Amino acid sequence: MKKLIAGNWKMNGSLAANEALVKGMLEGLGTAAPKSDMALCVPAPYLAQLGALLQGSPIAWGSQDVSSQEQGAYTGEVSASMLRDFGCRYAIVGHSERRQYHGETDAVVAEKARAALAKGITPIVCVGETLAEREAGQTEEVVKRQLAAVIHLCGHCITEIVVAYEPVWAIGTGKTATPQEAQQVHAVLRAQIAAATQSPGRVHILYGGSMNAANAASLLAQPDIDGGLIGGASLKAPDFLQIVASAP
């Protein structure tokens, strides 16, 4: 199974900057098939632009969120059907910033994952512990609880999701879990998924805590780390491409 390197631009970008960044990535890739599967998850207003720029390329595109509702009086929300209209393959759900700043619960995240799956969009389900939870020895308990909500609601469809382990204390801080620390949590998540499904398929489990061009190779070499959810480094074409090339 190829690694998956997904960029999360967060609330960054402009029409001009996006075009320059994407063109830089495509030029850097050249005509050779990339070693990893690739995706860019961008702010909703730029999905049409990304679809036009990436059409026919090896890079998929996705959103940074999706509504749990299909349609109706939900001002400001974007449904999975709308994302599908723009050719989205992925939708990030449950990012720690959504959990922290928007009060998203495990149940809400699970509903969003189910809504995406229902429209053929792959949810990238984010799980991770805070520094206080890690120091209290609660890492395994927290990530298993967060993933369990999605498993419970989505049932057999769980084999169609992507999971991203993103220790909250390592997001945007420059701190990174050691490869061994990250592998330990990924192994726990892998076992939880295996116990919940009889399918032989392998669910991608990405690492999402300050992975960059310098540390990507050591993280991606771990047996249960299937790729990365990349923040700041996805805003620099050379760095993002170096991470893609770091995959074993």
Is 137 known as a binding-site position? no
| 231 labelled binding-site residue | yes
Q: Give the tokens for residue 224.
A: 């249960």
Catalytic entry in 97, 111, 166, 186 = 166
Choose, from 95, 104, 111, 186, the residue flagged as catalytic. Answer: 95
Has 166 been annotated as catalytic? yes
Helix (H, G, I), strand (E, B) or coil at 1: coil
228 is in an annotated binding site: no
The reply to whether 129 belongs to the active site is: no
Across the chain, the runs of DSSP E, i.e. the strands, are: 4-8, 37-42, 59-63, 90-93, 122-127, 162-165, 205-207, 227-230
Q: Treating both helix axes as pointing N-terminal to C-terminal, what angle do 139-154 and 179-196 enclose, rounded to 10 degrees?
A: 30
* 128 assigned ligand-binding residue: no
209 known ligand binder = no
Nearest to 125 by CA among 221, 243, 6: 6
Q: Is 172 annotated as a binding residue?
A: yes
Residue 61, annotated ligand binder?
A: no
Annotated binding site: 8-10, 172, 210, 231-232
User: Where is the binding site for substrate, in residues?
Assistant: 8-10, 172, 210, 231-232
Catalytic center residues? 95, 166
